[in-house]
Amino acid sequence: MTEADMVTPPRGLALAQIALGLGGLFIGTGEFAAMGLLPGMAHSAGVSVPGAGNLISAYALGVVVGSPLLAVVTARMEKRKLLLLLAALVLIGNAASALAPGFIGIAGARFLAGLPHGAYYGTASIVAASMVPASQRAQAIGRVMLGLAAANLIGVPLTTWLGQSFGWRSAFAVVAIGGALLLVMLRFLIPTIKADQDAAPLRELSAFASVQIWLTLAVATIGFGGMFAVYSYIAPTLTEETGVSQSAVPIFLALWGLGMVVGNIAGGWLADRALIPAIIGIIVWNVVFLAVFFFAAHGPITAGASLFMIGVGFALVPALQARLMDVARHAQSLAAAMNHSAFNLSNAIGAWTGGLAIAAGYGWASTGLVGAALAAGGLAIMALSVLLIRRGRGSKPSLKETEA
């Protein structure tokens, strides 16, 4: 993108990026808060903790359904209006989560809260990229995702404390208030960005004809599931396996979140310099440190250190987002949104496979080995993607992808 093509925010680039990042903070907090509050939610819903993992999967399913649906239906909508619509859904979905009775009601509310997730991050990434030169695109996307990382450093520990002090419903009530604040900020800080007039549902759906898009989505779906296998059960793992008190859980969640912030910044920087090597290196990192968690979870110091290192693996998110925008060509909205659909499908897969290992009696720490196996699967898929590029099949790599 040349400087002539860039869009100028009404009150400056910094405030616009802060608004987009705060949206990521509120949405990310709404997603990950359930993982720190799982025991309390299980008690209210009348199910076991592994059974309550299905509430996490319900949110993830909402993302999987909402991301492509909203991206296709709103392909020709002006981007700021679209962001406002998505913020309104964040408000409604989390307010419903705070009020819903019973397992079915809570699951339905979590599904509703998940619907705008992928479309918001996808649209916000496109808007962020439109305000900077092409050479800074991945870093601009990373600033949007920084809100998602900060959710685990600030939002999740805060809502976990709120849930322990005032009941888990209070956490989702706070996220709903954040959705209301987001509506105001987006209205006044984000520029009007007209949609591509050639955009159409069929054109967006053309993304599904690309082998490279499918492979990139598969990397996110399988490869990132390892992080969720551990994170979905982190609260009971820390109390039952590591032996820390329930009141100390937010501290460990903050360590995870700090790692995500570091990884997010590093991931955007690396992706702007050598995209595919960055993706491969990050996945290898995830395989190693997820496996380490199996051995490290038995002591507070080693558990905290390994959680930080696993959090750094969040660097994969901005890198894969940039990769999808490279290979999507004329279906940017759908591809950008589908990245988060894939990540939340990985959420469901991670929660499910981790729950299977725990239910089979392998122990809470076994989620680390499950996670390492899933990350290794993502690495194999990425290797296939690179092999097809070298053989001249699928989308051609960008200049940054070819740089070592």
* CATH dotted code for 8-402: 1.20.1250.20
What is the share, in percent, of the chain residues with pLDDT greater than 90? 40
Task: Decide if pLDDT at 298 tops 80.
Answer: yes
Q: Which of 123-137, 197-211, 371-385 comes out lowest in average pLDDT?
A: 197-211
What is the share, in percent, of the chain residues with pLDDT greater than 70? 91
Which tokens hold the place of 382?
């990425």
Q: Which of 55-64, 261-270, 345-354, 393-402 comes out lowest in average pLDDT?
A: 393-402
pLDDT band (50, 70, 90) for residue 201: low
Task: Decide if pLDDT at 112 tops 90.
Answer: yes
The closest alpha carbon to 263, from 218, 224, 221, belongs to 224
pLDDT band (50, 70, 90) for residue 286: very high
Mean pLDDT to the nearest integer, 124-153 = 82
Statement: the pTM of the whole predicted model exceeds 0.85? no
pLDDT band (50, 70, 90) for residue 154: confident
Q: Which of 5-14, 61-70, 166-175, 390-399 comes out lowest in average pLDDT?
A: 390-399
pLDDT at 173: 95
Query: CA geometry: angle at 183 spanning 181 and 186, to 5°?
Result: 110
Q: Which of 68-72, 178-182, 224-228 comes out lowest in average pLDDT?
A: 68-72
pLDDT at 296: 95
Tell me which of 224 and 136 has the higher pLDDT.
Answer: 224
Average pLDDT across the chain, whole number: 85
Task: Encode pLDDT of 204-251 as tens digits.
Answer: 666 667 788 889 999 999 998 999 899 888 888 999 999 998 888 888
Mean pLDDT to the nearest integer, 149-161 = 82
Helix pair 117-130, 137-150: axis angle to 10 deg: 140
pLDDT band (50, 70, 90) for residue 330: low
* Domain spans in the chain, listed from the N-terminal domain onward: 8-402
Which tokens hold the place of 53?
């993992």
pLDDT at 202: 61
